[in-house]
């Protein structure tokens, strides 16, 4: 029996989760006075009696909307990260309903599988389309003041209703009724009336094909603002992409960022699992999938990831959820500026080209997507030294390495790379710097990132990337290779960082990556670059820099 055959368990019941972590203030297109009159405290309360619980049960409220509203409140007010995966099951239906009860004061029926899928769609979509939805809501409010002073929960309920009607094309009058009920029960009857009035207006203008949306006209600034609303991105991103890519490509990129993300699974060869084994398992679990065109170990999954999670395939280390472009482990939730770079990926490891017997340093390694993949390619010979400044993330790396059975070829080092390099005398065959970056290549998977990232972050990140590149270069042995990678599509974080590095370090030169990845991914200068629009993959970049003898 295949190693995977034994892993099938009962059908899945969970998919999504949200964690509460501190984020920077979000850049809101329309500023509103945030008058929070709804508690979303996570403090534990004394358990209620069964009678009390029954009294709080309200079966009229649709469960996916109650859960979505609370989750959106946590994300916006609590700064939570809208992760789409949580294999530990924190996002299970039961927990979600307990959270609804603590936040809104009532429970409704438990989420079934369909509700869970809807929560994923509604929460991710409502976050992505926030600017667009707020524009419509504001336009259909009695006056702008009503919108600006709207209480947070009421606004979330409206956003959900607008998203369901405009973007999910759900039956409009059912959406109106359900969201009115939610507003009445969670807030008060007057709130229900307001939701009713605004949603009915929306239904009318949608039926008349006259949604009040901005026109693409005027000067560059006006056009950027219109595009930012129409495609729901911050204006600064639109201006930047229009400058680098042109308007047409910028629009395509935004369309990609707003699309439903797909995920890839990497069969863990380190544990003897082949891609064929994994595909067979996915068939048994009825998870639709397709084989990666670019990497032998990878399979793409658009829906049904919760089945994989519930079947325990990730927990057992039989496969990992990783993106093909840069192979980063998508496993759990982290904060910090580097959070956005979680999805970097597999083809970057191909650019590193790990060979058995080599000593490889992964300078910014945690949570370990690339470390694990590189380790699995060493066939038990050689060593990956995984450095990271974040001990919590390194712990995850160690645990996953154990479950993937590649821990014998991984040594973790908790250190700031800048200090480690200064004090280290050892030199290594290959040094990978997967640098902290803006994450502008992975916006389709990180629904909330566009609202948390600011233009000013880029300057800070570029300085850090330069410092880390200098530090990483000290670890390369003569004749060795330094690989610089990001999960960004921004030339200032990619080519420009390499160019300034080469000016500071003329002993290094570009080693074209065309020997390691398909030529479709190779730029004129020999760098690896995945383009979300062109390749339907996360955006990522990698440069091989060789210390010529």
Ligand X SMILES: C[S@@+](CC[C@H](N)C(=O)[O-])C[C@H]1O[C@@H](n2cnc3c(N)ncnc32)[C@H](O)[C@@H]1O
Task: Give contact residues for ligand X (rule: CB under 6 A).
Answer: 328-329, 338, 341, 344, 364-370, 387-390, 393, 416-418, 434, 436
Q: Annotated binding residue at 434?
A: yes
For 264-285, b where at least 16 C-beta lie within 10 A, e where not — what string? bbbbbbbbebbbebbbebbeeb
Report the C-alpha gap between 128 and 507 in whole angstroms: 44
Per-residue DSSP letter, 163: I
Name the helix (H) or strand (E) containing 483: strand 476-486
Do residues 113 and 13 touch, judged by C-beta distance below 8 A? yes
Count H helices, E strands: the chain? 22, 12
Q: Annotated binding residue at 279?
A: no
Q: Annotated binding residue at 94?
A: no
User: Taking the CA atoms of the chain, what radius of gyration do you get in angstroms?
Assistant: 24
Q: Annotated binding residue at 369?
A: yes
Report the C-alpha gap between 328 and 348 in whole angstroms: 10
Q: Annotated binding residue at 6?
A: no
Report the C-alpha gap between 205 and 207 in whole angstroms: 5
Q: Annotated binding residue at 368?
A: yes
The least distance separating ligand X from the CB of residue 435, rounded to whole angstroms, comes to 6
Q: Annotated binding residue at 315?
A: no
Nearer to ligand X, 126 or 338 (CB): 338
Report the C-alpha gap between 36 and 140 in whole angstroms: 22
The least distance separating ligand X from the CB of residue 375, rounded to whole angstroms, comes to 12
**Half-sphere exposure (Cβ direction) of 282: Cα atoms closer than 13 Å:** 27
Which 3 state secondary structure label does DSSP give 187?
coil
The least distance separating ligand X from the CB of residue 114, rounded to whole angstroms, comes to 33
For the question of residue 141 being annotated catalytic, the response is no
Nearer to ligand X, 388 or 511 (CB): 388
Strand partners, 457: none
Nearer to ligand X, 81 or 99 (CB): 81
The least distance separating ligand X from the CB of residue 99, rounded to whole angstroms, comes to 28
Q: Annotated binding residue at 370?
A: yes
The least distance separating ligand X from the CB of residue 102, rounded to whole angstroms, comes to 32
Helical segments of 36-151, H only: 50-55, 63-77, 93-104, 113-128, 130-140, 144-148
Which 3 state secondary structure label does DSSP give 322?
strand
Nearer to ligand X, 179 or 444 (CB): 444
Nearer to ligand X, 205 or 415 (CB): 415
Nearer to ligand X, 149 or 463 (CB): 463
The least distance separating ligand X from the CB of residue 229, rounded to whole angstroms, comes to 31
The least distance separating ligand X from the CB of residue 393, rounded to whole angstroms, comes to 5
Angle of the 63-77 helix axis to the 93-104 helix axis, nearest 10: 70
Do residues 484 and 433 touch, judged by C-beta distance below 8 A? yes
Q: Annotated binding residue at 422?
A: no
Nearer to ligand X, 364 or 378 (CB): 364
Q: Annotated binding residue at 531?
A: no
| Contact residues for 237 (Cβ-Cβ < 8 A; gap 6+) | 228, 440, 450
Nearer to ligand X, 136 or 431 (CB): 431
Q: What are phi and psi of 534, to 5 degrees?
A: -75, -40
Report the C-alpha gap between 103 and 88 in whole angstroms: 22
The least distance separating ligand X from the CB of residue 140, rounded to whole angstroms, comes to 41
Pairing between strand 383-388 and 410-414? parallel
Report the C-alpha gap between 125 and 154 in whole angstroms: 17
Report the C-alpha gap between 487 and 498 in whole angstroms: 15
Nearer to ligand X, 73 or 364 (CB): 364
| Contact residues for 22 (Cβ-Cβ < 8 A; gap 6+) | 79, 335
Token pair belonging to 202: 């929306």
Do residues 241 and 533 touch, judged by C-beta distance below 8 A? no
The least distance separating ligand X from the CB of residue 522, rounded to whole angstroms, comes to 21
- Residue in 341, 363, 437, 487 annotated catalytic: 487
Do residues 188 and 157 touch, judged by C-beta distance below 8 A? no
Cis peptide bond prior to 433, omega within 30° of 0: no
Question: Which residue positions form the known binding site?
Answer: 364-370, 388, 416, 434
Q: Which residues are catalytic?
A: 487
Question: Which residue positions form the known binding site for S-adenosyl-L-methionine?
Answer: 364-370, 388, 416, 434
């Amino acid at each position: 029996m295949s190693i995977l055959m034994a892993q099938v368990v009962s059908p899945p019941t969970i998919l999504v989760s949200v964690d509460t972590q501190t984020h920077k203030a979000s850049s809101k297109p329309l500023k509103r006075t945030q008058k929070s009159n709804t508690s979303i405290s996570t403090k534990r309360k004394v358990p209620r009696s069964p009678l009390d619980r029954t009294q709080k049960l309200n079966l009229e409220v649709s469960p996916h909307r109650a859960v979505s509203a609370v989750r959106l409140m946590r994300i916006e007010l609590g700064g939570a990260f809208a992760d789409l995966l949580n294999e530990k099951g924190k996002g299970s239906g039961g927990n979600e309903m307990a959270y609804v009860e603590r936040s809104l004061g009532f429970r409704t029926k438990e989420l079934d599988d369909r509700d869970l899928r809807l929560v994923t769609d509604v929460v991710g979509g409502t976050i992505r389309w926030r600017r667009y939805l707020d524009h419509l809501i504001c336009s259909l409010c009695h006056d702008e003041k009503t919108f600006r002073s709207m209480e947070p929960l009421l606004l979330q309920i409206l956003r959900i209703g607008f998203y369901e009607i405009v973007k999910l094309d759900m039956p409009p009058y059912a959406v109106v009724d359900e969201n009115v009920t939610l507003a009445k029960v969670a807030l008060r009857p007057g709130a229900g009336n307001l939701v009713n009035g605004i949603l009915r207006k929306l239904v009318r203008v949608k039926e008349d094909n006259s949604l009040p949306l901005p026109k693409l006209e005027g000067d560059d600034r006006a056009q950027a603002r219109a595009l930012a609303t129409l495609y729901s991105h911050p204006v600064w991103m639109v201006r930047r992409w229009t400058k680098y890519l042109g308007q047409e490509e910028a629009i395509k990129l935004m369309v990609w960022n707003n699309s439903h993300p797909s995920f890839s699974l990497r069969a863990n060869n380190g544990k003897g699992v082949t891609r064929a084994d994994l595909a067979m398992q996915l068939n048994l679990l009825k998870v639709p999938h397709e084989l990666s065109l670019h990497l032998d170990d990878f399979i793409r999954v658009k829906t049904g990831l919760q089945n994989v999670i519930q079947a325990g395939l990730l927990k057992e280390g039989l496969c990992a959820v990783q993106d093909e472009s840069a192979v980063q482990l998508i496993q759990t939730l982290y904060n910090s500026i580097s959070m956005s770079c979680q999805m970097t990926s597999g083809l970057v490891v191909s650019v590193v080209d790990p060979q058995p017997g080599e000593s490889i340093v992964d300078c910014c390694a945690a949570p370990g997507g690339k470390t694990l993949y590189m380790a699995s390619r060493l066939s038990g010979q050689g060593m990956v030294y995984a450095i990271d400044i974040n001990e919590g993330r390194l712990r995850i790396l160690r645990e996953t390495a154990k479950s993937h059975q590649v821990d014998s070829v991984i040594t973790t080092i908790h250190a700031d790379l800048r200090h480690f390099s200064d004090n280290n005398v050892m030199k290594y065959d290959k040094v990978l710097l997967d640098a902290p970056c803006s994450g502008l290549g992975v916006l389709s998977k990180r629904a909330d990132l566009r609202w948390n990232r600011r233009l000013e972050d880029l300057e800070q990140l570029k300085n850090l990337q330069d410092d880390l590149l200098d530090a990483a270069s000290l670890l390369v042995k003569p004749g060795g290779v330094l690989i610089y990678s990001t999960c960004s599509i921004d030339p200032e974080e990619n080519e420009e960082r390499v160019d300034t590095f080469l000016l500071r370090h003329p002993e290094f030169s570009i080693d074209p990556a065309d020997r390691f990845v398909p030529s479709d991914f190779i730029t004129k200068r020999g760098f690896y670059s995945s383009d979300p629009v062109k390749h339907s993959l996360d955006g990522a970049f990698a440069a091989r820099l060789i210390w010529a003898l």
